[in-house]
Structure 1
Amino acid sequence: MYIKRIVLAVVLLGLVACGVFAYKVYSAFFLPNTQFNNEEAFVYVSSRANLDEVVQQLEPLLKDVETFRATAARKGYAGNIKGGKYRILKGMSNNDVVNTLRSANLPVKVSFNNQETIHDLAQRVAQQLEADSTSLVNAFSDPEFLAGKGLDLENALTLYLPNSYEFFWNTGAVDFRERMVKEYDRFWNADRLAKAKALKLAPEEVIALASIVHKETAKVDERPKVAGLYLNRIRRGMLLQADPTVIYAIKKETGNFDTVIKRVLYRDLELDSPYNTYKYPGVPPGPITMPDISAIDAVLNAEKHNYLYMVANVQDFGYHMFAENLAQHNRNKAQYIRWINAQDIKR
């Protein structure tokens, strides 16, 4: 009888111990383990992260880091860490968190517009994706890649159309570039290619001309008229004589793209640069900025008229006064010169 009691006591103790152990395992896996007040929090896991680095990111969000480590170890997460952006919800258990980190990589919005160089573009993208600016510049400027696309360093920027795109945060530089090529090819559909051909311009030339149109006017409704003016000049073999190209040439010559130039001087027109459209005919060898899609479509759907000259309209700021002949243009220009002198703008 005494032995039976001992055995029963041992069995009961074992059951209690098993129950305690089971409860601890259950708690570690399935009870809530978050400690933030918002409904959600986000973590960014590097593609090269190890478990310690992931835990370091999660530590401010978890009540008990050690139970998370134990759960991650039991589920084999340390050997299957995937980079990306992940949403951690309030009240998640360790099991939920591990499952999220294994399979719920979230896309991010990547936006860029009107950068003037591939370095500027790389810096902008690097602020939004894991890829660093150096790897992006290398991908954008890879000679073999550019040659395969019939491009060079001067017009490499044409491949990147300003917009917002969805990417996974851990997208690499080459994958980003290849996605942009697909977007570029999709943009240049049969209709746009036919319109470019009718203008006797290659797509990269359309974008280079669109970049001038973009810089000349921020008014979307005026862009087809400005585009028509430049196309008229090209057809007549006239120099484009676009001030924004001179400003770009100065920046490129000095290497300082942060400089602000409000007024082009006569001496600037003598700068020997293929981007100086006062000296060199046709469109420049590459875009002077990344033009908006509205500017590209303005070139492809340019307004038909006989204008050859334009100058800023000081009575309707943002717009321009247009002229068909030099005499009319000189009258318009005199108004602008009087106004700009009154503003005492030296440069």
Structure 2
Amino acid sequence: MAIDPNITPRRKKKERSMVIPALIVLFLFLFVSFSYYAFQIVYTPNVDTKKRDTFVTIPTGATYEQAMDSIEASEVIIDKLSLRFMAKLMDYDELVKPGRYKLEHGWGNRQLIGVLRIGQQTPVNLTFANVRLRTQLATKLATEIEASEQELDSLLSDEAYLATLGFDTATIVSMFIPNTYEVYWTTTAPELMARMKKEYDKFWTAERKAKAEQLGLSQKEVSTLASIVQAETIKNDEKPRVAGVYLNRLQKGMRLEADPTVVFAVRDFTIRRVLNVHLQHDSPYNTYKYAGLPPGPINVPDISSIDAVLNPEEHKYIYFCAKEDFSGYHSFAVTHSEHIANARRYQQALTARNIMK
């Protein structure tokens, strides 16, 4: 039987005509699938912070793996594998930057890695209210920025360094004006000190300096007296009157005899009732034993306290003590006999409440 030589070529041609469309369809399928997956990796929301604000901190010197572990530990990344793929694609492994970053709800991988690789940090709102001791200040600041408590305390305790700023270990807390400051988490201890000095200089306007000079006080002395006023009353409307009492005493050459300075000298901040044994404690901060202002502030005074000293109420009061109604306000007196009567009522109220310490 003879074989038709045209059968094989035609069949092959037909088979080729069938394969090419199939390959095109397969290619288009793969292309669409890859494009869709690529789109998902790049743009699909991969951060879910709907329930809570989430921040990631990446320490100075952190490796790529440490940075990625920190991000994943936030537990708001939906697809960790796609995030790592995008991170490698954007060379984040070579561009890790330290900082504190807020992860925004709905961010895609590209947006997240883009923020991290350029170091676009979220500022920290730095505050330091209710601080008494220099060491407490270091502890408070260290909770807000990357600098350690030891690094901060080292500067706050360095007399030679503090002298370059115009302070010493007793007065340095007055350089910190309580306010809310935006700083970056990566701010170093020296950078923070320089920033606080800048803010201090900005706070002490020509007007405030002039008022201090009229009172015969330096800026540091104003802060020291303000810290006593702040420790005496939590009532802002009463602070100018309390400040007036202490200024009257200073002008008359009397000892301040401020109970909060004794508490600070003893370093027992649980004391509610200052006793004779406390008054005998020998310390330059004990204003019952030593005339004039103590060496430095007994806390970090806030702006209302500083301005109360700079704008004191003019009166003739020399004495004051807490009111027996425990309202937080005080009874003021011009004469010692009036003061003794006020003090007796308060002491009786303390005894009635069994407050012996």
Q: Which amino acid aligns with 1:124?
A: K
Are 1:165 and 2:181 an aligned pair? yes
Q: Using a 3 Å threshold, how does the CA distance of structure 1 residues 26 and 319 change in structure 2: closer, same or farther?
A: closer
Q: Where does residue 164 of structure 2 map in the other structure?
A: 148
> What is the match of residue 260 of structure 1?
270
Separation (CA, whole Å) in 2 of partners of 1:18 and 1:316: 78
- Of 30, 39, 42, which residue of structure 2 is paired with 1:29? 42
Distance 1:339 1:221 in 2: 24
Partner of 1:107: 123
RMSD: 2.5
CA contact (8 A) 1:28 1:71 kept: yes
Sequence identity percentage: 40
Instruction: Return the offset for 1:288.
Output: 0.7
1:118 equivalent in structure 2:
134
2:221 and 2:296 in contact (8 A); partners too: yes
The equivalent of 2:61 in structure 1 is: 48
Q: After superposition, what is the alpha-carbon deviation per residue over 1:111-138, rounded to whole angstroms, capped at 9, x for unaligned? A: 2212011211122222222222222212
Mapped pair 1:93 → 2:103: no
Alignment of 1:172-251 (within 5 A): 172-251=188-267
Q: Can you list the C-alpha shifts for 1:221-264, whole angstroms capped at 9, x where unaligned?
A: 1111111111111111111011110111000xxxxx5x400111
The code of the aligned residue for 2:178 comes to P
CA contact (8 A) 1:114 1:162 kept: no
SS of the equivalent of 2:135 reads helix
Query: Where do 1:280-291 residues align within 5 Å?
Result: 280-291=290-301
Name the CA distance, whole Å, in 1 between partners of 2:246 and 2:215.
12
> SS of the residue aligned with 2:228?
helix
Tell me: CA distance 1:316–1:247, structure 2 relative to 1, closer, same or farther (3 Å).
closer
SS in 1 for 2:180: strand
Deviations 1:199-235 (CA, angstroms, capped at 9, x unpaired): 1111111111111111111111111111111111111
Change (3 A) 1:266 1:88: closer
Selected match of 2:150 from 115, 134, 137? 134
Q: State the distance in 1 between where 2:79 and 2:305 align.
A: 55
| Residues 321, 144 of structure 1: alpha-carbon distance in 2 compared, 3 angstrom cutoff | same
Cα distance between partner residues in 2 of 1:90 and 1:308: 59
Which sits farther off after the overlay, 97-106 or 7-16?
7-16
Aligned to 2:313: 303
SS of 2:238's equivalent in the other structure is helix
CA 1:40–1:341 in 2, change beyond 3 Å: closer, same or farther?
A: closer
State the alpha-carbon separation in 2 of the partners of residues 206 and 217 from structure 1: 17
Contact 1:245 1:288 in 2 (8 A): yes
The TM-score normalised by the length of structure 1 is 0.89
Matched positions, count: 341
Does the 8 Å contact 1:88/1:100 carry over to 2?
no
Query: 1:77: which partner in 2?
Result: 92
Superposition deviation, residue 177 in structure 1? 1.8
**If the length of structure 2 is used for normalisation, what is the TM-score?**
0.86
Consecutive unaligned residues of structure 1, counting only runs of 5 or more, are 252-256
2:331 is matched with 321
Equivalent AA in structure 1 for residue 67 of structure 2:
V
Change (3 A) 1:305 1:28: same
> Which range moves more in the overlay, 110-119 or 132-141?
132-141
Amino acid in structure 2 at the alignment position of 1:78: D
CA 1:5–1:144 in 2, change beyond 3 Å: closer, same or farther? farther
- List per-residue Cα deviations over 1:276-307 (Å, max 9, x = no partner): 00111111001111112111111111111111
The more displaced of 81-90 and 276-285 is 81-90
Distance 2:54 2:265 in 1: 46
Q: How big is each residue's C-alpha offset from its partner over 1:32-86, in whole Å with a ceiling of 9 and x where there is no partner?
A: 3345654864322223322212211232333332332232222222222222232
- Please give the secondary structure, in 2, of the residue aligned with 1:44: strand
The DSSP-based 3-state class of the residue aligned with 1:42 is strand
Matched to 2:16, the amino acid is R
Cross-structure match for 2:3: none
What's the counterpart of residue 64 of structure 1? 79
Distance 1:20 1:112, change over 3 A: same
Structure 1 residues 79 and 291: alpha-carbon distance in aligned structure 2, compared to 1, 3 A threshold:
same
Paired position in structure 2 for 1:254: none
Once the 2 structures are TM-superposed, how far is the Cα of residue 153 of structure 1 from its aligned partner?
0.8
Q: Secondary structure of the equivalent of 1:290?
A: coil
Contact 1:141 1:156 in 2 (8 A): no
Distance 1:172 1:146 in 2: 16
Name the amino acid aligned to 1:158: S
How far apart, in 2, do the equivalents of 1:316 and 1:341 lie? 13
User: SS where residue 112 of structure 1 aligns?
Assistant: coil
